[in-house]
Structure 1
Amino acid sequence: MLNLAEFAIRQRTFVLFFIALSVVAGIYSYFDLGKLEDPSFTVKTAVVVTLYPGASAQEVEHQVTDTVETKLQEMAELNRLRSLSRPGMSMVFVDLKESLNSEALPQQWDLLRRKVDDVKLQLPSTAQISIVQDEFSEVYGMLFSIHSEDAAPEELRRYAEELQRQIKAVKGIKKIELHGVQPRVVHIDMPDERLAQYGLSVAQVWNQLSTQNMTFEAGKFDAGTERIRITQTSEFQSLDDIRNLILKGGVSELGTGLIRLGDIADVTMGYQTPALTESRFNGQPAVTLAVSPVEGINVVSLGDTIRDIIHNYEQTLPLGVDISTVAYQPEEVQKAIDDFVGNLLESVGIVFVVLLVFMGFKSATIVGSSLLLTILFTLIYMNIAGIDLHRVSLGTFILALGMLVDNAIVITDMMIVKLNKGIERTRAAIDSVKETAVPLLGATVIAIMGASPVLFSKTDSAEFSSSVFYIVASSLLLSWLVAMTFTVLMCWLFIKPTPVGEDTKPSRYKQLVFWTVDNPIKALTGLVPLILVTAFALPYVTVNFIPQSDRPIVFLDYWLPNGAKIEQTSEDMRKVEQWLLKQPEVESISSYMGASAPRFSVTVEPEPFDPAYGQILINTKDYAGINKLVERGDKWLQNQFPDAEPRFRALKLATSDKYAVEARFSGPDEAVLHQLANQAKAIFATHPDAKYVRDDWRQESMVLQPVINQDKMRQAGINRADIAFALKRASDGMPLGQMNLNDELIPIQLRGTSQNMSSLETLPVRSLLGMHSVPLGQVVDGFELVAEESMIWRRDRVKTITAQAGVARHSTPSTVRNAVKEQIEAIHLPAGYNMEWGGEFYDEHKAVTDIFKQLPKAMLIMVIILVAMFNGFKQPIIIFATLPLAATGATFALLGFDKPFGFMALIGAVTLTGMIIKNGIVLMDQIELERANGRPLADAIKEATVNRTMAISMGALTTALGMIPLLSDLLFDQMAATIIGGLAAATVLSLFIMPALYRLAYKDKPQTTQTDAELKEA
């Protein structure tokens, strides 16, 4: 088998040429890679929306939601069904299994559509066709607002559409949506008095308007060699077309049966009333452009192009119309990359200084250049594999930095030792690789396996962190290859022998190692106090699953009681906007009424459409000012809007839970569920750090029900449909098709005399087919105002109400949950009812459970490698016995740095196992080698430990110190503290504990025969 060192030396011209090309390719790859702020992960959720006009929430639940859910439950890859039934609308959220990869989703969404199509004949006849929204997770990384105090809504729409057209032409744009557009509507106001005056029925007007607003096929005529198509359209294309429409069936001055619509109705252009959604920027009416780039694109370059387009377009806008930035991912991406590149360079500098101090200039330069070359090789791999530059991938570079020099340190140290013993440099290079290649490869693979649970896990949190494994694996394997070729070649070229005299007086460290080997039981006994202190300190470590983002953004969600009209929501939000704009921390605000802001982050799950809901996206001047703003805002909102449910919400990094602490109650009866939720909310409210306490069903809303008298209705010659149409015309208006105006389809609505609740008894009710009308009060026995459920949530087809609470920013969800856990779980549950925890605990439990479920796979691979390497079981057992030593250092590091334990800390702890085992292999392999060379047991252990201390401690020191810059990062700080403390403690302690365990595990006799030693070397 060709020795890599021998190849590198013999073919050094080619090797150096290839490395030079790789340096250029690596630099190119850095600039060519896709750049994102955070890694994207696939939201495996779609929504099936079905409108059922006129139905109550209970009717929607039983007649639509349950029917749809029954069919969708047949999907094999279904993980969970969540549904929301509201008056007139069903929303079924389809959550697929998290183990599905993104490539399998289109097939699943096609299957979902087929299932929905199959169920349409089982729905009520008046229910509309179900719509599948599988772009529920679409993320719009750039939000721009076109706003003006004076421009009409239609003008803002036109300006936004023109800008949308220009941006769409840019390569790399996936989708652009407009939010806050006020749709135009043609209103045909036709009082009942005029219908009676001209002897027309509602049905006549409706049918003739619909019939004469259609495009007809008129055929084709032969014209020589051609067939010419004939066009004939009677579609309305202007308001005058509608006004001049001649209706048949009545009596007027035009003659019997001919009436001009404009004579009996007012035809006007207006806007949808009430509005479905509204949008404002800094208090001015606005239209928001939401821009979604394609995946893998360099959003920084794309953002520059879009900014240029916007700048040029602004010059064409009239005075008073402005374009402002609401959210701009490219800026955040550039900031994140700049910060992490700075941290990376700082870590490289720290590593080089450590190497310089302990190894000298030449050795430090060789190892440092090997590190840089490994990073460049990894960038090339990332470019080929399509791994973007973002917070996690760059942070993983820093995580792996210390490990990337381990192999180079071992090779350099081995070369120096052999050269100093007088061995010829080519032989020294070949022997160094021969002796270390396989052990270092095994140790490298084991270090990679430490991060493999992240790969095996299929939760969203693991997918968010998946680049940790890919970069650790690729960079470590490349570091091994670089060490076996480039590093050894550099040592061959530049390292000179430096004979040193024999050290006659052992150092204190050597004396301590010797004492440990001679007194293994006493040494192991010394661990007992350390274990006890760690056990005492561990409960003081706080838990915080996923930290908040450090972007200077905070949301304000605002709910009025169910049933509130959007006009009231908008008015309240305007008062909130005025207050916010006066706060010193606020840079700008963008408000949305009736719906959430466009989804500009994958962790922000939008709220369903609700006229009682509004949201303000608040850009602050810096992240540090958010706490003061929230604290001040909570008090002001509570005083100003005591009946509302306002809530400030931070941007999370990797989870989309809406409330930090949630207790879910499931069961059949709505009244019982409300009672259980009320008990939970009362318990939540007792904790000083819990706030925004509520439940997701919220309040009941009021419904007006006419008490219809069947006999009177029959005598009057009308039916229920006549009453419904009369009420519809008097309130929202009846749809009558569309008008085609400059290729814009504008809805047409037929409205009657406007009424309010106090005058409903006098509302004329006309037969759709007849000419006569009667007052509504003549056919009803009165009106009842009753309360009904406005929202019915279900999970897996069972009614589920969720008691929710936010957490003060100085506290953590686990702190609040642990404090109320016993009381919540003590709530008496009737038979058939269940309780489970949701919120952050649900995500945390799911992710942690899955990581630990995958951990045995990684451990099994590690054990197989260790047994194969040492052809025994004692050595692997001794190495694995050192793993718990890391818990001591990790515990005190988290406490000392004041960091909580969360998901990233767990990833750090799992990755740490590979690092510790790798160090154990280096020491164990040297002990085995010393024994194979005929040394007595105790001497072999002592000599191996002393000889390998430099390589092991250097690797650990560079890894730990290299992670110092990550202590200031909100995502990686937990991981950094865990690895710094855990690796430091495990390294120091294992240099004593491993020798002691080995001394106890083996008897003092020759390890192998000469033949065995030769076989081992071979």
Structure 2
Amino acid sequence: WDKFRAGSFAYTSTAFPMLTGTLVTAAGYLPVGLAQSSTGEYTRDIFRVVGMSLILSWIVAVLFVPYLGSLLLPVGTSHAAHHDPEHAVYDTRFYRGMRRAVAWVIGARWWVIAATVLMFLISVAGFTMIPRQFFPSSDRLEVMIDLRLPEGGSFAASARAVKRVEAILQQQKGIRSWVAYTGAGTPRFFLAFSPVLQTPNFAQFVINTDNVPAREALLARLTAGIDQGEFPDIRMRASRLELGPPVGYPVQFRITGPDPAELRRIAVGVGEALRADPHIRNVSDNWGNLGKSVAITIDQDKARLLGLSSQDVATTLQTVLQGAMISQYRENLDLIPIVLRATAAERRDLADLGQVSIRGANGQTVPLSQIATVQPAMEEAFIERRNRLPALTVRGDIGDGAQAPDVTAEILPHLDALKAALPPGYAIETAGAVEEAGKGQASVNAVMPLMVLVMLTLLIIQMQSFSRMAMVLLTAPLGLIGVTAALLATGAPFGFVAMLGFIALAGIIMRNSVILVDQIERDLREGTEPAAAIANAVVRRTRPILLTAAAAILALVPLAFSVFWGPMAIAIMGGLVSATALTLFFVPALYAAWTRVPRAAQRPRAAGIEAAVNKNAIAQG
């Protein structure tokens, strides 16, 4: 062939099957790009980048590469003297071996299909052994320390706690710098970081370490101090930065109900279940301890006789204890409020509160002790609500090597008895990483029907046959064989990002199947015998499939070492290996079984098909 014929043939024979396969691959990333959740924010750009890259790669492959080949490739080849120059490139030891292998596959089609199904079932069973994960911890070098004093703690007490932690940090090697925020949390300096609201009993550290070993050594030192009770009066937590939506404590159980006291009683049982698990440490709840308060019970009958109301008592006590603005002082352009309140000495002793004079609307004043009783009390200092109900969350950290979904699954059976004994109106819900993973999964599942619809539309346009489309679809889930093997071999967890890679892998597998089935159909239309058409298509597509798979696998190698993208890269790499074998061996066997290729054309199997392949190759030449 001359250069123009060769270049145009490359376009006319592969452009549209490649386009369909490319669009099917891009459609595999649709759930990533259209997921409406906080989780989707971290992965949405994958769809945009991969989609644009795939379209551009198709344009380059079908237009620029043939043009470049017509400019650079020589007119003659080393096979010019061969009796069949068009097919001489496939007459090598490697391709002859491929012909024999495909001939055997077609003859033993049902054995190949059965073996593939068996491997798929084994991979499904093995998939249950893969550790689950939502998002991994960040590989950044910062260490976060949260210090929370008992409710009602002062700013000065928080500052003293900060000094105690700083004394430890000064003795630790590998620390570059640190900053402490007292009375408030750190400003949001990282996308996945959730700031803490201002409160005087809270302080937070951001510590910059020199390297990962220094970070881990610091975490080990702080974790040991927490576990050994080095800070008994402080609720302390040391952690790495998170990737993905902020979760905080990875294992959490939320208790909801109308009565805060009953919630605390239930929380005791939940906390015991968490502490009994060997992977859980640093168990706490989000309400903290009860805060000190003063209970003032007004005798309404006496108050009404004196012309006093509860509002009068509340206003007077607020003025005495917190102060009331009585005027403003102007200094240049600034207005400075003038606040009236009792002196510090008068506000220090609870016994003096009963001597506060209450003035009614008629101008009469009486001591507070004559119309009310003043008693110290304890009450909830902080109540979080969810769906208008008080919600108390019991949470805990997990040790290195454990994954939050797996640990949560271990604890859930121990909560069954507690759930069965809950009063009406109360519930124990799973929160933390498991809840966020469920939200992310739900947002992806919501887009899955659209992805399937787009894939089906593309396949039916290309295949022009429902049976051929169904055959291609059957190959999509078989990527699980390679995914399971790769994740088990490397010990990588299956998280949200790996799940996205698995979904996209289905598109890659179907792309290869589309191109191969289209080549078989093309050869059949040209009059090639069915068995020879299958073998011819595999032989022609072997090198492109192997090279594209190898290029993709090698391109993913750098990502395999990434904390965030590593599980996805490993899943796709393993899936590509199995997808290559599926395309070259399983798809021919499936096609032969699906289209009922006559067995008469297969006696003897290998020799007969190989002879038919060579005969048709010479005829086409």
Cα offset, 1:799, TM superposition: 2.7
2:264 corresponds in structure 1 to: 674
CA distance in 2, matches of 1:465, 1:942: 41
Matches within 5 A, 1:457-468: 457-468=35-46
Pick closer, same or farther for the CA change 1:810–1:624 going to 2, 3 Å: farther
| 1:672, distance to aligned residue in structure 2 (A) | 2.4
Q: Is 1:498 equivalent to 2:111 in the alignment?
A: no
Structure 2 vs 1, CA of residues 437 and 981 (structure 1 numbering), >3 Å: closer, same or farther?
Answer: same
2:563 is paired with a residue whose SS is coil
- Length-normalised TM-score, structure 1: 0.54
Contact 2:308 2:361 (C-alpha < 8 Å) held by counterparts: no
> Do residues 600 (structure 1) and 193 (structure 2) align?
no
Bigger drift between 836-845 and 850-859 goes to 850-859
- Of residues 31, 34, 52, the one that matches 1:474 is 52
Asked if the contact 2:29/2:504 (under 8 Å) is kept, the reply is: yes
- One-letter identity of the residue aligned with 2:449: P
Residue identity matched to 2:284: R
Kept in 2: contact 1:883–1:986 (CA 8 A): no
- Classify the secondary structure of the residue corresponding to 1:581: helix
Per-residue deviation, 1:750 = 2.3
**Structure 1 partner of 2:594:** 1001
* 1:769 CA displacement: 8.8
Q: What is the alpha-carbon distance in structure 1 between the residues aligned to residue 350 and residue 596 of structure 2?
A: 100
Give the direction of change, closer, same or farther, for the CA distance of 1:851–1:711 in structure 2 (3 Å limit): closer
Per the TM alignment, residue 895 of structure 1 is displaced from its structure 2 partner at its CA by: 1.9
Indicate whether 1:700 and 2:290 are aligned.
yes
- Residue in 1 that maps onto 2:14: 436
Residues 439/721 of structure 1: CA separation in 2 closer, same or farther (3 Å cut):
closer
Alpha-carbon separation, structure 1, partners of 2:300 and 2:101: 101
- Among 814, 825, 828, the residue aligned to 2:405: 814
Mapped partners of 1:599, 1:968: distance in 2: 27
Q: By how many angstroms is 1:893 displaced?
A: 1.0
User: Post-superposition shift, 1:714?
Assistant: 8.0
- Cα separation, 1, equivalents of 2:580 and 2:316: 82
For residues 192-591 of structure 1, the aligned pairs below 5 Å read 423-496=1-74, 497-500=76-79, 501=82, 502=88, 503=91, 507-527=96-116, 529-591=118-180
For structure 1, the 5+ residue unaligned runs are: 1-422, 1006-1018
Alpha carbons 2:306, 2:360 under 8 Å: kept:
no
The answer to which of 467-476 and 722-731 deviates more is 722-731
Residues of 1 paired with 2:536 and 2:251: CA distance? 56
Q: Identify if the C-alpha distance between structure 1 residues 474 and 758 changes in structure 2 by more than 3 Å, giving closer, same or farther.
A: closer
SS at match of 1:832: coil
In 2, Cα distance between equivalents of 1:979 and 1:714: 78
1:711-790 residue pairs with structure 2 within 5 A?
A: 724=314, 727-754=317-344, 755=346, 756-757=348-349, 759-760=351-352, 763=355, 765=357, 767=359, 779=370, 782-790=373-381
**What displacement does 1:661 show?**
1.4
CA contact (8 A) 1:723 1:765 kept: no
Q: State yes or no: 1:793 paired with 2:372.
A: no
- Map 1:3-82 onto structure 2 (within 5 A): none
Cα distance in 2 for partners of 1:781, 1:749 equals 26
Q: Residues of 1 paired with 2:109 and 2:28: CA distance?
A: 29
1:683 to 273, 298, 304: 273
Distance in 1 (alpha carbons) for counterparts of 2:390 and 2:299? 35
Q: Describe the shift of the 1:956–1:761 C-alpha distance in structure 2 as closer, same or farther (beyond 3 A).
A: closer
Aligned-pair identity in percent equals 30
Supply the RMSD in Å over aligned alpha carbons.
2.7
CA gap 1:589/1:736 in 2 versus in 1, 3 angstroms: farther
Instruction: Quote the offset at 1:584 in angstroms.
Output: 1.5
- Other-structure match for 1:623: 212
Distance in 2 separating the partners of 1:714 and 1:865: 82
In 1, Cα distance between equivalents of 2:64 and 2:244: 39
Q: CA deviation at 1:463?
A: 2.5
Give distance in 2, aligned partners of 1:635 and 1:504: 65
Residue 509 of structure 2 corresponds to residue 930 of structure 1: no
Cα deviation for residue 444 of structure 1 reads 1.1
**Whose relative contact order is higher, 1 or 2, with alpha carbons under 8 Å and at least 6 apart?**
2
The answer for the alignment partner of 1:642 in structure 2 is 232
Q: Does 1:845 align with 2:434?
A: no
State the match for 1:965 in structure 2: 558
Distance 1:548 1:740, change over 3 A: farther
Residue 737 of structure 1 deviates from its aligned partner by 4.6
How far the C-alpha of 1:695 sits from its partner, in A, is: 2.0
Q: Is the 8 A contact 2:358 2:368 kept in 1?
A: no
Query: Deviations along 1:566-614, whole A, 9 cap, x unmatched?
Result: 2222222222222223321332222222221112223222223322222
Structure 1 distance, partners of 2:73, 2:330, is: 83
1:432-470 Cα distance to aligned partner (Å, 9 max, x none): 212222111111111111111112321121232111111
Counterparts of 1:643 and 1:996, CA distance in 2: 69
1:540-564: per-residue Cα shift (whole Å, max 9, x none)? 2111111112221122122222222
Q: CA deviation at 1:686?
A: 0.9
SS in 1 for 2:132: coil
Post-superposition offset of 1:798? 2.5
Aligned-residue offset at 1:486: 1.9
Check whether the contact 2:516–2:583 (CA below 8 A) recurs between aligned residues. Answer: no
- Native 8 Å contact 1:586 1:621 kept in 2: yes
Alpha carbons 2:116, 2:586 under 8 Å: kept: no
Relative to structure 1, the CA distance from residue 570 to residue 715 in structure 2 (aligned partners, 3 Å threshold; closer, same or farther) is farther
1:970 alignment partner AA: V
Question: d(CA) in 1 for partners of 2:258 and 2:245?
Answer: 30
1:771 and 1:440 map into 2 onto residues whose CA distance is 92
Residues 427/780 of structure 1: CA separation in 2 closer, same or farther (3 Å cut): same
CA deviations 1:461-512 (Å, max 9, x no partner) are 1232111111111111111222232212111111123142443766433322
Instruction: State whether residues 542 and 815 of structure 1, in contact with CA within 8 Å, keep that contact through their aligned partners in structure 2.
Output: yes
The structure-2 alpha-carbon separation of the partners of 1:488 and 1:715, relative to structure 1 and needing over 3 Å to count, comes to same
* Equivalent residue pairs, number: 582
**Separation of aligned partners in 2, 1:780 and 1:581:** 56
- With the length of structure 2 as denominator, give the TM-score of the two structures: 0.87
- Write the deviation string for residues 897-936 of structure 1: whole angstroms up to 9, x where unpaired: 2211001101111111111111111211111111111111
